[in-house]
Amino acid sequence: MADIFELFKQISKDNSGAAGAPTHMIVGLGNPGKDYAETRHNAGFLAMDKICASLGCECQRVKFKAFTNTVKIGDKSVLLMMPQTYMNLSGEAVGEAASYYNIPAENIIVLVDDIYLEPGYMRIRKKGSAGGHNGLKNIIEHLGSDNFPRIKLGVGAKPKEADLAAWVTGRLSRAAYDLMTPCLDACLDASKLIMNGKADEAMGKYNGMKPEVKEEN
């Protein structure tokens, strides 16, 4: 795996182009590979897919042990990132990019799954502890700070008898994904508000968000 990342470093280029050097980051957390697609732990990747679709771009440039793209969002130059290190080492990618571009922790928004919220709910926090989430824990370790905003996406609590690792790497049901979709769609707008210094407005707008339940005919 290390050799692959060394190759990535050799072939990757800084393609920020017209967007300029990024001053902010939006990071979607998840595990790479088809085996983890649409699993609970990949809620951050699912949210990033929605953001990219809305912006008409893709995270496909290999840099910082991640798939990235640098885009303009309003007047901000933003590095979009999907770490490819597996969840527990997400901080390696985030920390390397933050150091390279000198991006402060408070300018890094992390999109992450939350087992303490049911599907259809989201919660925005300006900063805070990892709350038991290993991806957040590793990011805090590599940044040396927990002073970064995060958008938590509910994936549902594990059944009492279930193994936690198996639960978070289990696939979302279609019903759960449908409930989550409005939250995934809202991540871009919430990120814009946060980047424009309106985190409180984002929290007021989305922390009380209720799931849309479709009625069956």
Q: Is residue 136 part of a domain?
A: yes
Please report which confidence band the pLDDT of residue 132 belongs to, taking 50, 70 and 90 as the band edges. Answer: confident
Please report which confidence band the pLDDT of residue 161 belongs to, taking 50, 70 and 90 as the band edges. Answer: confident
Does the structure show a pLDDT above 60 at 78? yes
Contacts of 62 (CB under 8 A, 6+ apart): 8, 11, 12, 68
Q: Is residue 13 part of a domain?
A: no
Tens of pLDDT, residues 171-216: 999 999 999 999 999 999 999 999 999 999 999 999 977 766 554 4
Report the CATH number at residue 183.
3.40.50.1470
Instruction: Count the domains in the chain.
Output: 1
Q: Is residue 71 part of a domain?
A: yes
58, 59, 60, 62 alpha-carbon torsion, rounded to 10° = 160
Q: How many CB atoms neighbour CB 40 within 10 A? A: 25
CA triple 196-90-56, angle to 5 deg: 50
Please report which confidence band the pLDDT of residue 76 belongs to, taking 50, 70 and 90 as the band edges. Answer: very high
Residues involved in catalysis? 41
Q: Is residue 20 part of a domain?
A: no
Does the structure show a pLDDT above 50 at 9? no
Q: Is residue 216 part of a domain?
A: no
Q: Is residue 15 part of a domain?
A: no
Tokens of 16: 């920020």
Report the alpha-carbon distance of residue 62 to residue 5 in Å, rounded.
Answer: 9
Average pLDDT, the chain: 88
Q: Is residue 17 part of a domain?
A: no
pLDDT computed for residue 30 by the predictor: 94
pLDDT computed for residue 19 by the predictor: 65
pLDDT computed for residue 121 by the predictor: 94
Q: Which range of residues forms the domain containing residue 40?
A: 26-206
